[in-house]
Structures are given as structure tokens and as C-alpha cells.
Amino acid sequence: MRAGYGRLKGLGILLTGMLGFSMATGDTSPVKALIRGDFEAPDFFLELAEVIHSRDAKGFFKFVEYLAENKEVFAETDEKKYEIGKKWITQEMKSEYGNSERGKDFLLGVVDLELGLHSKVPKVVAQYNFYDAVVAKKEGSKACSVFVEWNGKQGCTVEELEKIVEVDTFYGDTYRDNTGNVEVIHSFDHMYEPEKSSSEKDNKDTEETENEEEEEQDEKKEPIKNVGILYGDPRSDGFMELHKFMKYRADQGDAEYRIRFTKKENGEKGKNMILSGYRVELALKSTEYRVVDDTGLFSSKELREQEGKEDEWIGERVNIGPRAQDRSAELRQADKKPIVKERTGKMEPASMKAAQMILEAEEPLNMLEWLATDYPKYSHVMMEYKNSSVLEKLNEYRSGANQNVNMITMNGLRLGEVDLEPFKIVEGIERERKAIKRLEEFGLSTEDAVNYISEGREKLGAEGSKELYDTREKEKVVWNSTSTNSS
């Protein structure tokens, strides 16, 4: 990942398991499994707008204006929408990559990754839920598909909004309840940054030359009290008119302007959101079990002839070891008893017990075959096996391991387990991209910028020490339905 912008290719290997690829071998048909949320997927352009906002707030408002003025693009296919969005980013977000062709490819690569993971969809859905749960239930709320909430008062058209602003401007704070006028800024809000006129820029240059006393007085000025929030969808009628009005008021310094998305009224219901970043594993198993009464495994002559001799299970074939042979009588006695409920608590370290028995056996492969042949039948024999040699070996390795074991770095920055989660790793890549871009602005090449922010590779322990890897599987959710199994 240190080879400049090409390092993004290596990320594909890392995220392959997270993005839900399905493969088939031989004549087996591929099994495709998708996880969908219980909420409707927002339009692609709204998701892309959130991706743009995370990088360039001004670019977000330009993109929203483009959508409001070209509503026909919403009727295009997803593939066509992607091409339109990609072209817009390439043309309008040059400040994010300059004149570097590799910088442009890197930006588009990170955007593709975010869109593939749908990492910004929760922001859109959060705005929908906030409107349904809070705004729509306010007293006196009007049934408008798009409106501006000015200091708590709702205006569905520019004419209504002008009257509200005129009243507030004329009376000022006389009839205003300032205690309830404070609108909370939410993480999903899109804050508009006012454009400054040339005269304001000149005034700013003049203010920089003034003395410290005048600067302190400027800092004591009261903040803007008017807050205007535009609720709506860029496709809705009247959205652009209200946006222009609020944008003008914000540029004049009269109000603070925000945008919050709402669902389009009378819009066609789409499919539920596909949840990326999760892996679905379908474990297919045979349900043809042979039912055998094993309560008298070592006492029934008929069963012994069918399954094998006693020694075959205890020592000769299984090769459990001397400790198990010494306890053969105890195992025979335990096997005559039914498996009671108290034994279920002993199943937790089953994998460790199996590993111990296989490693300690004289013929490990035979032991592995024996355990895998009919695990439910002989699991209690395995669970009674005690051998601390494997644990002692693991503790020995653990005591000699240092903090650099299993270390993964990105340009020298160590990534923890949480940082490797799909959504987190996107943030990390974007952070690295911005750092490299800033260094390139100072004249450094891409390679020099990466080398500058990278640290030297740290050595894993002392010379000659073994590298350790944690290969334990971590299951998040397991569904196992046996309702249709028959014995």
C-alpha cells in the first residue's frame, strides 16, 4: 500500500471477503445471498450527494442544484446514474485532485469503494427518520412536500417564506421566544457556507490590519439568530426556488442555512437496502444420520461386532495416548450413562480438545478422520480428554510475542481490528488520500509524499523469533434450522 495511488489495488484483496463475492467450482451452480435492511434504499444520487458532502461542502450544494435543475436524470438506470455522477465529480471536484491524473483515479477509486459499501446511506435514512419522527409531528405542521422552517415557522412557498421573514425582521426579538429558537445541529445536517462579496473581502483585509482591541470587539458580536432549514427532495417542485431564496438570505448574513433530505412524495417504492460489509456463509450438510443406541457401546456384543472392538476405540486405532488408556474404565462407565444436560457446558472448548487429541495421537490423520466421521456420537469421549501440553505451548508462544504480532499498517500507520471494518477502512483511506494531496501541493511527488508520511517497517520480535498469526474464526450470526430434519 505504499506504492502511491496504486496501493488501492491491494485493498481489493483485503476487502474481497467483506463485499460478498460468490464463487462456484466444477458443475456447482453459484449461490448468491444478499442481506437487505428493513428500510427502502434511497436514490443513488442522494447517496452520492452525501459522499460528495464528506469531502466538499460547497460541492454538495452545487451537486444538489444540478439535480434540482436536471430532474430527468433521476429516471435513468443505475448504470447511467453512475456515469453521470462520475462525470460530474471529474469536472466539478478538480480541487480534490488538481491536475494529477493519478489523483483523479485515486479519488474515483475511493468514491467507488464508498458507494460499494453504501457507507453514506445511514445519513440519508437518518434524515428520513428524523423528519417522520420529529418534524412531521410538530404542532401546526403543514402537508408540504418541500418547505423551509424559519425559526420554527413553516413556509411552503417563497411568498409564504417572505412574509415570515418580513415579520421577523420588522418585530425583531419583540415577540420571539429565544429560548426555543435554538435549533440543534445534527450530524446529518448540510451547512451552507455563505459566499462573500468582493467588498466583504476588502473589509476583511482591512480588518486584519486593525489593532487587537478592534478585533476583540468584532469577536464579541452576537451570532446570527435566524435559522432556516430546507426540508425536501431535489426532485420535488419548488425545491430550487426555496433553495435560491435561502441561499440569498445566507449570503446577506441574515440567516444560517441548512438542508435536510426527505422522501419524495408519491415516489415509487424501491427495493430494500442491500447491506454491504457482511459475509453470508451457507453451510450445507447431509441430513442422512444413522440412528444407533450407543448407551451400551462397550458392553453390547452385537454392537461391538458391528462397530469394532473395545481396544479399537480406546488405544490401538484411535491412539489417544497413555493418559486415555489409563482412564479407559472411567470412559466405559461414562459411556453407559446418557448425556445429561450438565455436559453441555463442557462443549465450549470443543475445538481445543479436538486439537489436543489430534496433536497427541501417534497417527494424527487417523485421529482426525475418527473425530470427523461421527462427531456427535463420540464427542463426549473427546470432551473427557485432558492434556495441557497444547495450552503450555500456546502460553510459551504468547509470552514471547510482542505487541507487533498480527500488525497491519497503511503507509506506516498501524491499523487495529476496528480500523479494518469496512466503513472504518474507507475513512482511513480517505484520510491518507487527503494527506498525500496536501503534500503534493507543496511540490512533492506521489511517491515522495507516501514515503514522507510512512514509518519504517517495525521488526516482529527479536531475531530468530517466530511470527504468530491469530487464525481463529469469529462468527457473528449463526442460523441453524433443524425443524425439517427427520430421524
Q: What is the pLDDT of residue 19?
A: 39
Residue 259 resides in a domain: yes
C-beta separation of 440 from 100 below 8 A = yes
Q: What is the pLDDT of residue 100?
A: 75
* 3-class SS of residue 474: coil
Q: Is the same domain home to 186 and 67?
A: yes
Residue 210 has pLDDT above 90, yes or no: no
| Helices 57-69 & 239-251 angle (0-180, nearest 10) | 150
Longest CA span, the chain: 106
Residue 81 resides in a domain: yes
Which residues does 183 contact at the CB level (< 8 Å), separation at least 6? Answer: 152, 227, 229
Q: Is the same domain home to 278 and 310?
A: no
Which of 67, 61, 42 is closest to 119 using CA atoms? Answer: 42
DSSP state of 74: G
Q: What is the pLDDT of residue 315?
A: 41
Q: What is the pLDDT of residue 39?
A: 84
Q: What is the pLDDT of residue 267?
A: 60
Q: What is the pLDDT of residue 166?
A: 86
Share of the chain above pLDDT 70, in %: 54
Q: Is the same domain home to 73 and 102?
A: yes
Cell numbers at 358, concatenated: 489430534
Q: Is the same domain home to 237 and 308?
A: no
The pLDDT-based confidence of 243 (bands split at 50, 70, 90) is: very high
Q: How far apart are CA 249 and CA 168, in angstroms?
A: 13
- Which residue has better confidence, 79 or 169? 79
Residue 97 has pLDDT above 70, yes or no: yes
Using a 10 angstrom Cβ sphere, with 0-12 exposed, 13-18 middle and 19 or more buried, the burial of residue 464 is exposed
Q: How far apart are CA 405 and CA 468, in angstroms?
A: 6
Distances, alpha carbon 21 to alpha carbons 12, 253, 278, 279, in Å? 12, 51, 11, 9
C-beta separation of 437 from 96 below 8 A = yes
Residue 20 resides in a domain: no
Q: How far apart are CA 236 and CA 10, in angstroms?
A: 42
Share of the chain above pLDDT 90, in %: 22
Q: Is the same domain home to 123 and 150?
A: yes
Question: Residue 261 is inside which H or E element, if any?
Answer: strand 256-261
Residue 165 has pLDDT above 50, yes or no: yes
DSSP state of 222: P
The pLDDT-based confidence of 67 (bands split at 50, 70, 90) is: very high
* 3-class SS of residue 58: helix
Residue 84 resides in a domain: yes
pLDDT, mean of residues 163-179: 67
* 3-class SS of residue 62: helix
pLDDT, mean of residues 87-108: 84
Burial 274-290 (b: 16+ CB within 10 A, else e): eebbeeeeeeeeeeeee
Q: What is the pLDDT of residue 391?
A: 64
C-beta separation of 371 from 331 below 8 A = no
Q: Which of 344, 362, 397 is the last residue of a domain?
A: 397
Residue 115 resides in a domain: yes
Look-up: residue for cell 443406541? 293
The pLDDT-based confidence of 84 (bands split at 50, 70, 90) is: very high
Q: Is the same domain home to 272 and 333?
A: no
Q: What is the pLDDT of residue 367?
A: 80
pLDDT tens per residue across span 380-398:
666 666 656 666 666 666 6
Q: Which of 397, 429, 455 is the last residue of a domain?
A: 397
Q: Which of 397, 420, 435 is the last residue of a domain?
A: 397
Instruction: Measure the N-to-C terminal CA separation of the chain; round to a whole number of Å.
Output: 54
pLDDT, mean of residues 13-30: 44
Q: Is the same domain home to 276 and 314?
A: no
Q: What is the pLDDT of residue 65?
A: 95
* 3-class SS of residue 25: coil
| Helices 8-15 & 422-441 angle (0-180, nearest 10) | 180
pLDDT, mean of residues 65-90: 93
pLDDT, mean of residues 106-123: 89
Of 168-182, 189-203, 240-254, 345-359, where does mean pLDDT reach its minimum?
A: 168-182
Averaged confidence pLDDT in the chain = 71
Q: Concatenated DSSP letters for 416-450? A: -TGGGSHHHHHHHHHHHHHHHHHHHHTT--HHHHH
Q: How far apart are CA 41 and CA 47, in angstroms?
A: 9
Domain count, the chain: 2
Residue 227 resides in a domain: yes
Residue 464 resides in a domain: no
Q: What is the pLDDT of residue 445?
A: 83
Total-model pTM: 0.60
Domain limits for position 84? 33-197+223-284
pLDDT tens per residue across span 254-293:
889 999 999 887 666 778 887 776 655 555 555 555 555 5
Hey, CA dihedral for 405, 475, 384, 308, is it positive or negative? Answer: negative
Residue 5 has pLDDT above 50, yes or no: no
Residue 184 resides in a domain: yes
Q: Is the same domain home to 276 and 345?
A: no
Q: What is the pLDDT of residue 62?
A: 94
Q: What is the pLDDT of residue 296?
A: 54
Q: Is the same domain home to 244 and 271?
A: yes
Instruction: Spell out the alpha helix ranges (H) of 93-226.
Output: 101-117, 121-130, 158-171, 198-208, 212-219
Q: Is the same domain home to 264 and 322?
A: no
Q: How far apart are CA 467 and CA 355, in angstroms?
A: 20
Q: What is the pLDDT of residue 486?
A: 47
Q: Is the same domain home to 114 and 181?
A: yes
Cell numbers at 215, concatenated: 478585533
pLDDT tens per residue across span 295-327:
555 554 554 455 444 444 444 444 444 444 444
Q: What is the pLDDT of residue 156?
A: 92
